[in-house]
Copies of this chain bind each other. A is one copy, B any other.
């Protein structure tokens, strides 16, 4: 076993030190409200296996990309590069990673046996589920509420992305009561297959482009149950005043004003790249990565108060986005 912090550290190592060995990636994800630790660490899972394979490693073991202290490993996408051997790659929980590191630190020869029973199953047919409240005088302009139906298989997906589905669906339900005939069309899309390659999002975006549908603004809920702590955006600079107006209404819910560099989320990223502006009520991710993509993603982790606040924030934001007089301008140059 060779311990390496991350993919960058591996890149600096000679192949001779890696060949015929199991590579263990030790980088630990940091806890943060915005979940930024995930993006900083996840490359050990996505890119680590092929990077190690290209230097002759036999297998890869990583410290789970999560903040949990439970002995339940984290899973997620791994990308095997064409041309690198598809070597076995597994994640171990944080406590087990600690144990392995203590054993490695003792400096004695360590034999690690990796037994992988995972296998690829054939693809199957799935579908996006779409509902909308048709608009009136601006009906051809669509305000999109996005979340995804699928989940990693270890848990039940209550947080990822059951909570997101609940938030946008509850928000639409509230809107139907408050404003059954909105100016712009409010469309709720439950995307298929976010986790395994965004094929639901791609099919939807292709449809949008080919049918010339006009998406005024997109919002996505895919970071757990909340609460919403900040309103970020990615809109044309001329429209920041509009976002500020919407934020003023959200402020009493405890929502801060965030920046204008929002990514929005995975399922709407293709739309954003195509110029659709994004409004992003940010969900508090402090504890999200204790459960995300593990067996522990279950309904008891959803705080009813937090998710009620989140649904309300999404409803208010969508209500105002659909109602404002000014048109939402496409982003220049896309994402």
Which residues from chain A sit less than 8 Å from chain B, CB to CB?
68-72, 94-96, 98-99, 102, 155-156, 295-296, 298-301
Contacts and interface: CB of A to CB of B under 8 A. Distances in A.
Given A95-B296, A296-B95, A301 B69 contact: yes
B299 A99 contact: yes
Nearest to A299: B98
B295 A71 contact: yes
A94 to B, nearest CB: 7
B300 A70 contact: no
A300 B94 contact: yes
A306 B68 CA distance: 21
Residue from the set A72, A98, A155, A300 with the largest chain B CB neighbour count within 10 Å: A300
Number of copies of this chain in the oligomer? 2
Contacts of A98: 298-300
Contacts of A102: 299
Q: Which 6 A-B pairs have the closest CB atoms?
A: A95-B298, A70-B70, A71-B295, A95-B300, A71-B296, A98-B300
A153 to B, nearest CB: 13
Residue from the set A68, A71, A300 with the largest chain B CB neighbour count within 10 Å: A71
Residue from the set A70, A98, A99 with the largest chain B CB neighbour count within 10 Å: A70
Contact of A298 (B71, B156, B295, B300): B71
27 contacts: A68-B70, A69-B296, A69-B300, A69-B301, A70-B70, A70-B71, A70-B72, A70-B296, A71-B72, A71-B155, A71-B295, A71-B296, A71-B298, A72-B72, A94-B300, A95-B296, A95-B298, A95-B299, A95-B300, A95-B301, A98-B298, A98-B299, A98-B300, A99-B156, A99-B298, A99-B299, A102-B299
Contacts of A70: 68, 70-72, 296
Contacts of A295: 71
A162 to B, nearest CB: 13
Contacts of A299: 95, 98-99, 102
A299 B71 CA distance: 12
A68 B96 CA distance: 18
A190 B335 CA distance: 64
A104 to B, nearest CB: 15
A29 to B, nearest CB: 14
A29 B98 CA distance: 29
Nearest to A156: B99
Nearest to A69: B300
Given A69-B300, A95-B298, A95-B301, 20 more contacts: A68-B70, A69-B296, A69-B301, A70-B70, A70-B71, A70-B72, A71-B72, A71-B298, A72-B72, A94-B300, A95-B299, A95-B300, A96-B298, A98-B298, A98-B299, A98-B300, A99-B156, A99-B298, A99-B299, A102-B299
